[in-house]
Amino acid sequence: MTTDTLNQTIAPAGDSLGRDAWRRLSQNRAAMVSLALLGLMALACFLGPMLSPWGLAEVDWNAFSSAPTLEGWHLLGTDANGRDLLTRTLYGGQISLSVALVATFVSLVIGVLYGAISGYVGGRLDNLMMRFVDIMYSLPFMFLVILLMVVFGRNIFLIYAAIGAVEWLDMARIVRGQTLALKQREFIEAAHALGVKDGKIVTRHLIPNAIGPVIVYVTLTVPKVILLESFLSFLGLGVQEPLTSWGVLISEGTESMQTEPWMLLVPSVFLAVTLFCLNFLGDGLRDALDPKTR
């Protein structure tokens, strides 16, 4: 039998796990509504600005600090510099969402590899690697991230890599736990017996089997990263003008909330809805993928 036919005969069994999880997830109304809303949010943020008559930094000289109005199509008003708030919020969403994805991906790669190696090799190396994680856990992280921002202030992608680089600890622990349980199983032993190299066993056999809890944790990391990014931007340490993000907009809104409350409310609502949906989706996925609730 060639490997192709082998894969074909094995594939349905592997698929059904995912399909089962999907079936359970689709029965969870809150999670499905959240998923749809998140899709809409992403579409709006990435396609919406193209439909808008206003640009990111384009000034409407007839409308400074305008309340939401149909005149000039400022559906959600303008800021103190006459820039369209809806357009800016959508552009800000692009930054916030892409940051979340990049940083989560970084944390995913570091955490999964670190955890899988630590758990698979075991022994003294495992001990050493986990002590390191323990030390990292007790660091006052927010402060170190703020320091990182000060150091790399001008390069946003470096910053997001930095956020990702500090968010991988939980992921590493989860994957290590999974790996420890999995490596006792027969199929790993079989792979050993067939002479598969250690590196390949980790990447081809261990990691794919530990993926369930990892997916759940990813959905919980995304809102954490969005929150972290807006927190930093709010303090004036995140993205720089002319770029903007939800945190920056909220911070600007705070300054003028007495006279122009919509400037605070609009980005806050976008941020809150996104975080809400991600939390619901994360809860839903946990229920769907947790074998104990089956």
Establish if 128 lies at the interface with another protein (CB under 8 A).
no
Q: Among 13, 135, 193, 194, which residue interacts with another protein (rule: CB under 8 A)?
A: 135
257 is a contact residue toward another protein (CB under 8 A): yes
- Binding residue for another protein, selected from 40, 125, 147, 158, defined by CB under 8 A: 147
- In angstroms, the CA 189 to CA 118 distance is 18
**Facing residues of 78 across strands?**
84
Contact between 184 and another protein per CB under 8 A: no
Selected from 58, 155, 261, 294, the binder of another protein by CB under 8 A is 261
Cβ-based neighbours of 241, under 8 Å, separated by 6 or more: none
Distance of CA 236 to the CA centre of its chain: 21
104 vs 220: CA distance, rounded Å: 10
Report the residue number, 174 or 250, with the smaller CB distance to another protein. Answer: 250
CA atoms within 13 A on the CB side of 268: 11
Asked if residue 276 binds another protein (CB under 8 A), the reply is: yes
Is residue 115 a contact point for another protein (CB under 8 A)? no
Give the amino acid at 101.
Answer: L
Q: Is 111 exposed, middle or buried (0-12, 13-18, 19+ CB in 10 A)?
A: buried
Using the contact rule CB under 8 A, the part of the chain among 57-65, 113-121, 203-211, 233-241 near another protein is 233-241
CB of 276 to another protein, least distance (A): 4
**What amino acid is encoded at 52 in this protein?**
S
CA distances for 28 relative to 249, 277, 294, angstroms: 33, 13, 14
- In the complex with another protein, which residue's Cβ is closer, 69 or 254? 254
Binding residues (CB under 8 A) for another protein: these are 135, 138-140, 142-144, 146-151, 223, 227, 230-231, 234-237, 247, 250-251, 253-254, 257-258, 261, 264, 268, 271-272, 275-276, 279-280
